[in-house]
Structure 1
Amino acid sequence: MAALVPTEAAASPDPAGAAETAEAAELSRVLSRLLPGLEADSKLSRRRALEALQRALEAARPEAPEGDPAAAAAAFQGPWARLLLPRLLRCLADPAERCRALAVHLLELGLRRAARPRDALPRLLPALAARLAGPEPARRPPPEACEELRLALVQLLHLAVRLSGAALAPHLDDAVRVLRCTLLDPFAAVRRESCECAAGLARATPDHFHMQSESLIVPLMQSISHQHWKVRVAVIEATGTVIQFGSGKSVDDVLPHFAQRLFDDVPQVRQAVTRVAGAWLLSLRDRCSFFHKLLPLLLSSLDDEIPEIACGAAGLWEQVGLRWQMENEEELKDKLDFAGPPPAHHPSPGSRPGLGCRELVLRNLSKILPAICHDITDWVVGTRVKSAQLLAVLLLHAEAHITQHLEPVLRTLLRACADEEAAVVRSCTRSAELIGTFVSPEVFLKLILSTLRKSPSPSGLLVLASVIRGCPREALRPHVKVIAVELAHAHICQGSEKRLYGERLLQCVQAVVSVSREDCRGAGVPLVEVLVTVLALWGPAGLGAKVQETLAELAAVESVDGSQELFRAHVGALLERLAASHRDWTSHSKELLQFDVVLTHSGPALGEVLPQLVPILRSCLQPARDPPMRLKLFSTLTGLLLGARETVDSQGQFHGYLDTLIKDIFVPNLQWHAGRTAAAIRTAAVSCLWALVSSGVLPDEQIQEVQEMLMPQILTTLEEDSQMTRLISCRIINVFLKTSDGVIDPDKFIKIYPELLKRLDDVSNEVRLAATSTLVTWLERVRNEAGKCYYQSNIQHLYRELLVYLDDPESAIQDAVLEALKAGSVLFPDLLVREMEAVLHKHRSPTHCEQLLQHLQALPPAP
């Protein structure tokens, strides 16, 4: 009985197997009837045979008993592998494009329906390689000329990879050879599909792929800069997977290309780089040895202009930090258990990077910094911008540990802050602020100030201003005066004449004032001195308004009312510093410009420092000193004297220095010397004297003293070539006469009117009118003289001369002379009548003479 059991079992037919065999036999009969058409000589016949096969396969979908898909696939497997596959593979080389396309479609259909698609690989892969891989892919076109067919063939390969999985390992050579060619295909869609296929191949054969992965890196990197952004994205993602399952040695080969894609104009490309870099940092097998190379890729995206990319990078970076933190939990145990709060002045304590992120940066900083310091001065703008942004991110993570790298970082910032690109400068100032936040002022000031002493520069001042802005007030407090004194040194505050230098210098003062506030009170003098220098050298270049704002802010922290009060508090010290060098000043001396600013901005405070101010003026206005400097000082002094009550005489003490002003300043500078420069100085001196006598600060007695000392010089200046000098001289003489009240020596008094008469022939009507007005005052002074008969002959001469000008071509002169004669007629009216009658017949018009005669007749009789 037992022996009969196998026999009976073998004799009993299996219904499922019988059905499968029947389906396979039916399919084989159908295929056998149609396959001979594939060998026809006519391409039309071959195409019709392929179309018939397509219809047969699509219509004859064998259903397995009881709906079992596996049985249906098994029934299809035999005819497919034995009959259809070899012939379809031969059709891939058919001359007719349509035939090749149908063959590819049927191959795809067969792979999807076959029970064991991997069985087709030994014949399928070489056939695909024959159609897609040329012997020299970089030089010769692929055997398949049609782009759409090459795409279909790569899709077929991709399908085989998905369906076969690890079974594809023995055929890796052919697959990789195909991909090396198709990754460089001229058709962009083929490249994209090849990238997806390469990634699928890497995932399907992880145990063997690493032996072939490096050969795909070169074509991938050749395609990473393709003009189509979707190709670039596909290449980046494929490269990430290829290296993930391949050889880590290729990381060094792809990093420069990935870094270049961070400057891509298309956000999706930058996002792809970010995702791949994050994935490598999370799961690359040998990632620890590549941390210092991969961190810049991910951290650079934290400052991307697209918020979505920046947020994605931040999320990935947080994951990387947590992952590393968990992997090194034992090593970080103390820092985790005794974690302190963020630094008190952390710029963003609420979003402080996690411990793992900070430690990762700290441990790799020494390897990353040299590359950043190099790239931050690269000739490509984008590289400099990204490097500067990355430096700020690294410093934010390193916190107080920046100190050990401070010297190279500051050296880098000094170079980068001179960049023409504003984005680079912004990021570098941000980095400098972080240094100020996390590093002790004793450390960074020692390095920065020593650099400024050796070579002051706008970039050095900008770095200093930025670290001060970032420094906590409590830490900066002991160093405020040191900083202010250093800035006030002439070597630094006068280091350049360029506007940018002055702007950076001003930023330093603004930073000190804004951070230190009331702590600036002990450093007020040097800070004001720096602001005076900025105003003197660069105020005309557009910094005046900013300086005034800073002065107002400094006045507020010193609890004084406005900038004038601030100058009142410090003008004495400022003048004392300037007095130390005034003997060496020339018109080019920066100290002269500083002195000018102090004079023009101190206002009433000048009245309190006359003992310091007047000696400087006396020394600098000596005839032996630089003429352009004297011109500048006379101009400034004229402005002060015009508002003397609000400036030099605010305390009512200016009269005490009048003797020095007249004898040591005006007298030497009014003396005649040949040359245009000397004439210009005399004009300036006369203008200054006019400001003095017309300001109202001198009583009549002191004006008389001035007149006694300066009248001879002023009479001489009536002959100057300068119209302005002659005009002002006439006005000064007029004031002298009005305040003399008859006390002028008669001999000196008589010498005045002939000089004035000469001015009636002046080329300037304005001077002629001023001279006429002064003659009226002279005649009025005679009227006050007790012995006017002493002047009779002189007055007769004056009548005679004035009557000539009564017939002047200029009506304004005629009117002025008429008023002068009327004013003088009371002295000797009869004499005037006789003189007038003698010249009346000579006048072109007797009108003015008749008016004068009527005036004389109306005079009361002499007593």
Structure 2
Amino acid sequence: MSLNMEEMCENLQSGERRTKLSALILLQDQCEKESYAQLHDIFDEIYLHLLKCYSDRFESVREKAVQTVTEFVNKLPPNDFHLMNIVSTLVERMGQQETLESSEEIRLLYIQKLLTLIQKYTVTGNKRSLQECYTEIISVLTKALRDAYPAVQRESCACVVALMNAADTIAIQPFIEKLTKPLYGMLNHKHSLARISAVEAIGRLALHVDPKNDTLSQLIMEVSPLLMDSMPLVRRECGQLGILLALELRDRYSFFDRIIPFILCCLKDDSPEVVDFIRPQWIKCGKQYFDENEAELSKQEIGDLPVKNYPPDVERPTIGCRAIVQRSLRLLSLITRESNDWKVNVRLHSLKLLYQFVLHAEAAMTAKFFEIYGDVARACRDPEAIVSTEAMKVADLMGRLFSYDDWIEHGFDGLVKNTKEGYLKCFYHMFAASLGSKIDDIIRVSEMLISSEFSQTLKPEVQLYVLKLVETILSKSDEVGEQFENDKNEKLVLNSYVATIKVMALSFDSEQTNVVELQDLGQYILTKLAERQKITVAALHENYFVNALNYVDNLDASLDDLTEPIILLNGLINIAKLRATYLPDLQEKIILVWENCDDSAKVKIFTSISVVMLQWTETINRQLCESTELLTNFVSSVIERHLLWHAGANAEAMRSMAMATLCAMSQGAVEEARIVLPACVAKYLPSLLEDRSVATRHYSVKCLFNFGEVDVEQLKPIAYATLQRLDDPSAGIRELAAMVIPKLSPKFNKSKSEKEDFEHEIWETFIRKALDMMFLHYEGPEVCLQKSIKASINLLAAKYPEICKDSYKRTVAMSYNSLSLRELQSELPLLI
């Protein structure tokens, strides 16, 4: 033996740090040179001195002592006596109530040393030696798992994994609970590597848990929150835990419903790395289950036909994987309950898990539809877009994979009893994705959509999905083809039209963000309905609009412009316009508004009437006599009542709207207006032309441009009132008045010559007065007014040349140096 052992022992006990370090270094060198037998003798003599150095006051000595002992252990064969001594020393340094070792690095060396011992005794087959030290090892690990140094904690988890891999279940079970508590604490560690290590250790530890107590359930419950961890590797480790238990847990069949969520959540993970890592292992689990139940599953495999409507770009799970999930459907209630949690990530996690359950269970899960319908529907209207989108994916998948005949009736019942946004969205996605829709089901959907609960709501999302569902039932009806009977087809078209136009009407004048989308989709549906009936959209309105108009009710109440019936009526008028087939019915609704509703509602409806009146000729599309009769009735019943003067600002506004409508009528129904206006409006115009409202006066003057012929006696007050507008405070009205005077058309009595001469004389007197005033106003500074007067004088001069010349001469004679009138003579040769 080359070493002086007596001297070596003295050096290890020396008070000098250098002496002890030199001795330890020398021992390490000796480990490289000596044989096993010589090293065994050396270690037997000095191991007590080496272990005593573990408690040396110098950190460098303690560190070197640990390294030296490690060298000896690595070189020497396993020895139970040395194992017990080393572990006892570790317990003394780390396993006490208060940790004696202050150095983090040395505590890490202690745990690394313990890991080395566990691995060495495991590989060499001396597991029984480890069992005798379980109490000491567990006490060290329990303390180390709570260490403040993360590296120590991670290494301790590695020790747990190594120990569990080698442990006898019965021998290790008494110590399980002591290890689980500190491991649970590590699941919330700020370092992701620590969390990963803890999950791995818990997975190995779970294989030895007694299934008769609640430890395994508690273990699964503690790890479950990490499925929503922000780090993909942590989530992947949770999936790995599920795979481990699904493959190796002895009582795994009893715990499949608690294990598979770890796996299925990873299959729907946002990180491809997680999915790609777990998927092949999950297939392995399915294969193992298939092999274990081959007698039963092989028969099922024979009739396992491909699903016709399987979602694109989704790989169908193997029959073994599907069988595992199908036997675990009792977990659904727990999953759906979490879909209503107050935390967004919990709700999202729950729906992703539910998606995988549906994907694996397929039609076998149809019987559970009534249990999850309400929760999926609520999730479809979740305020968080990411959650609602995931819920709608689940609904789409249910529609594809569930047995249509088994879920459709309950789907209808839920929609009828819960006329809410969520149920509508859920039903839409299921119905749209399903196959095998029947004629009666399509008709039933259309009948539900026309009810006020769906198509008469002001909620933008509900409106959108009503239109989407209408589009869907039309597409599905096209698939039915020739089986669709004529009466049912007519009913479908009618219901689809009513539901669509009501939604369009309610969103027409809205400020909601999806109004353009709603109007475009609605117009597309109307076009599709027209093509289906082989008619135009205009004819579609003529045929079916009155049915939609019937849903405008409660107009006998004091409604304002923001109430649903007024919004609906206003939208219907703007979308369908005025048409002969339903004009009388529309008049009745409008009259109810005039008699009962607030002024704001009246103004809103009147505004729309004035707009659509511009398209009268185009939309009425009838012979002149019939069109004139319709227009006369409309004006007399709807408009005329507002032309009579009443006090108050609201009455003034209504007069303005009435005149705006008549003005629009004179432009949109040119031929009819020349007949209707004189008959219905002439008696009100003199007062309207002098109304206090600028708008009323403006529209009154403008209305005269297409007024038609009027008896001289009736036209006379209108003409003079118009002439007074040359002095109107509004420049625009002054210009219009100057332009409209030549447009006035007197109707002379031709039956009696004396009366005819008298009427001509009356009218020429007016023309003379009009020309005098126009020449007089021509001298003013307004360029635009001069231009209007010049055009009117030119027209009047062509018709009444002598009167025009006389008037010009009189005006010039009364004027002093009027350059503008002199210039006018050169521009209008008729005045010479």
Match of 2:119 in 1: 162
Aligned 1:1-80 pairs, distance under 5 A = 26=1, 30-59=4-33, 61-62=34-35, 73-80=36-43
1:146 maps to a residue whose letter is: S
Match of 2:609 in 1: 637
**Structure ID, larger Rg:** 1
Shift of 1:647: 1.1
Q: 1:436·1:470 contact (CA, 8 Å) conserved in 2? A: yes
Q: 2:329·2:365 contact (CA, 8 Å) conserved in 1? A: no
Provide the C-alpha distance between the structure 1 equivalents of 2:690 and 2:535, rounded to a whole number of angstroms: 42
Superposed CA offset, 1:433-454 (max 9, x none): 2332244556544444444444
Superposed CA offset, 1:35-60 (max 9, x none): 2222223333333332333333333x
Provide the C-alpha distance between the structure 1 equivalents of 2:528 and 2:428, rounded to a whole number of angstroms: 19
| Partner-residue secondary structure (3-state), 1:199 | helix
Aligned 1:168-187 pairs, distance under 5 A = 168-187=130-149
Superposed CA offset, 1:730-781 (max 9, x none): 2333433xx42xxx43433433332122212100122122222333345998
Q: 2:338·2:347 contact (CA, 8 Å) conserved in 1? A: yes
State which drifts further: 545-554 or 408-417: 545-554
1:532 maps to a residue whose letter is: I
Aligned 1:245-256 pairs, distance under 5 A = 245-248=208-211, 249=213, 250-256=215-221
Aligned 1:186-205 pairs, distance under 5 A = 186-205=148-167
Match of 2:273 in 1: 308
Q: 1:236·1:273 contact (CA, 8 Å) conserved in 2? A: yes
Change (3 A) 1:823 1:85: closer
Match of 1:478 in 2: 440
Match of 2:395 in 1: 432
Match of 1:763 in 2: 729
State which drifts further: 773-782 or 373-382: 773-782
Shift of 1:258: 1.8
Q: 2:196·2:237 contact (CA, 8 Å) conserved in 1? A: yes
Match of 2:619 in 1: 647
Provide the C-alpha distance between the structure 2 equivalents of 1:195 and 1:791, rounded to a whole number of angstroms: 112
Change (3 A) 1:554 1:706: closer
Q: 1:575·1:612 contact (CA, 8 Å) conserved in 2? A: no
Scaled by the length of structure 1, what TM-score is found? 0.85
Q: 1:466·1:511 contact (CA, 8 Å) conserved in 2? A: no
Provide the C-alpha distance between the structure 1 equivalents of 2:314 and 2:809, rounded to a whole number of angstroms: 104
1:575 maps to a residue whose letter is: V
Find out whether 1:288 has 2:253 as its counterpart.
Answer: yes
Within the candidate set 546, 550, 564, 1:590 is matched to 564
Q: 2:381·2:422 contact (CA, 8 Å) conserved in 1? A: yes
Identity %: 22
Match of 1:359 in 2: 323
Provide the C-alpha distance between the structure 1 equivalents of 2:195 and 2:38, rounded to a whole number of angstroms: 43
Aligned 1:693-732 pairs, distance under 5 A = 693-695=666-668, 697-698=670-671, 703-704=674-675, 706-732=677-703
Match of 2:363 in 1: 400
Q: 2:771·2:807 contact (CA, 8 Å) conserved in 1? A: yes
Aligned 1:185-334 pairs, distance under 5 A = 185-207=147-169, 208-248=171-211, 249=213, 250-332=215-297, 334=299
Match of 1:92 in 2: 54
Change (3 A) 1:772 1:690: same
State which drifts further: 583-592 or 570-579: 583-592
Change (3 A) 1:134 1:538: farther
2:615 maps to a residue whose letter is: G
Provide the C-alpha distance between the structure 2 equivalents of 1:824 and 1:311, rounded to a whole number of angstroms: 91
Find out whether 1:125 has 2:87 as its counterpart.
Answer: yes
Q: 1:118·1:160 contact (CA, 8 Å) conserved in 2? A: no
Shift of 1:180: 0.7
Q: 1:780·1:823 contact (CA, 8 Å) conserved in 2? A: no
Match of 1:20 in 2: none
Change (3 A) 1:117 1:735: same
Provide the C-alpha distance between the structure 1 equivalents of 2:245 and 2:527, rounded to a whole number of angstroms: 56
Match of 1:12 in 2: none
| Partner-residue secondary structure (3-state), 1:671 | coil
Match of 1:69 in 2: none
Q: 2:555·2:593 contact (CA, 8 Å) conserved in 1? A: no
Shift of 1:713: 1.0
Within the candidate set 470, 473, 498, 2:459 is matched to 498
2:324 maps to a residue whose letter is: L
Provide the C-alpha distance between the structure 1 equivalents of 2:110 and 2:826, rounded to a whole number of angstroms: 127
Scaled by the length of structure 2, what TM-score is found? 0.88
Superposed CA offset, 1:535-586 (max 9, x none): 2222432434333443465357547199992452354223134146568265
State which drifts further: 304-313 or 607-616: 607-616
Find out whether 1:683 has 2:656 as its counterpart.
Answer: yes
Shift of 1:599: 4.0
For structure 1, which runs of at least 5 residues remain unmatched after alignment?
1-25, 63-72
Shift of 1:126: 0.9
Q: 2:338·2:350 contact (CA, 8 Å) conserved in 1? A: yes
Q: How many residues align?
A: 804
Provide the C-alpha distance between the structure 2 equivalents of 1:323 and 1:490, rounded to a whole number of angstroms: 55
Provide the C-alpha distance between the structure 2 equivalents of 1:179 and 1:832, rounded to a whole number of angstroms: 120
Q: 1:376·1:416 contact (CA, 8 Å) conserved in 2? A: yes
| Partner-residue secondary structure (3-state), 2:147 | coil
Provide the C-alpha distance between the structure 1 equivalents of 2:745 and 2:318, rounded to a whole number of angstroms: 96
Provide the C-alpha distance between the structure 1 equivalents of 2:71 and 2:629, rounded to a whole number of angstroms: 116
Shift of 1:479: 0.8
Provide the C-alpha distance between the structure 2 equivalents of 1:552 and 1:778, rounded to a whole number of angstroms: 43
Shift of 1:802: 4.6
Provide the C-alpha distance between the structure 2 equivalents of 1:454 and 1:577, rounded to a whole number of angstroms: 24
Shift of 1:365: 0.8
Superposed CA offset, 1:624-659 (max 9, x none): 665444433333333333223321236654223233
Superposed CA offset, 1:152-204 (max 9, x none): 11122222222223111111111111111111222222222211112222223
Match of 2:303 in 1: 339
Provide the C-alpha distance between the structure 2 equivalents of 1:524 and 1:779, rounded to a whole number of angstroms: 50
Within the candidate set 663, 667, 689, 2:636 is matched to 663
Match of 2:753 in 1: none
Shift of 1:371: 1.3
Change (3 A) 1:783 1:813: farther
Change (3 A) 1:397 1:847: same
Q: 1:413·1:432 contact (CA, 8 Å) conserved in 2? A: yes
2:499 maps to a residue whose letter is: V
Match of 2:739 in 1: 773
For structure 2, which runs of at least 5 residues remain unmatched after alignment?
751-755
Provide the C-alpha distance between the structure 2 equivalents of 1:704 and 1:602, rounded to a whole number of angstroms: 25
Find out whether 1:152 has 2:109 as its counterpart.
Answer: yes
Shift of 1:393: 0.9
Match of 2:521 in 1: 550
Superposed CA offset, 1:824-853 (max 9, x none): 568887777777666656535423444677
State which drifts further: 459-468 or 394-403: 394-403
Within the candidate set 311, 314, 339, 1:376 is matched to 339
Provide the C-alpha distance between the structure 2 equivalents of 1:682 and 1:84, rounded to a whole number of angstroms: 117
Shift of 1:279: 0.9
Provide the C-alpha distance between the structure 1 equivalents of 2:448 and 2:432, rounded to a whole number of angstroms: 17
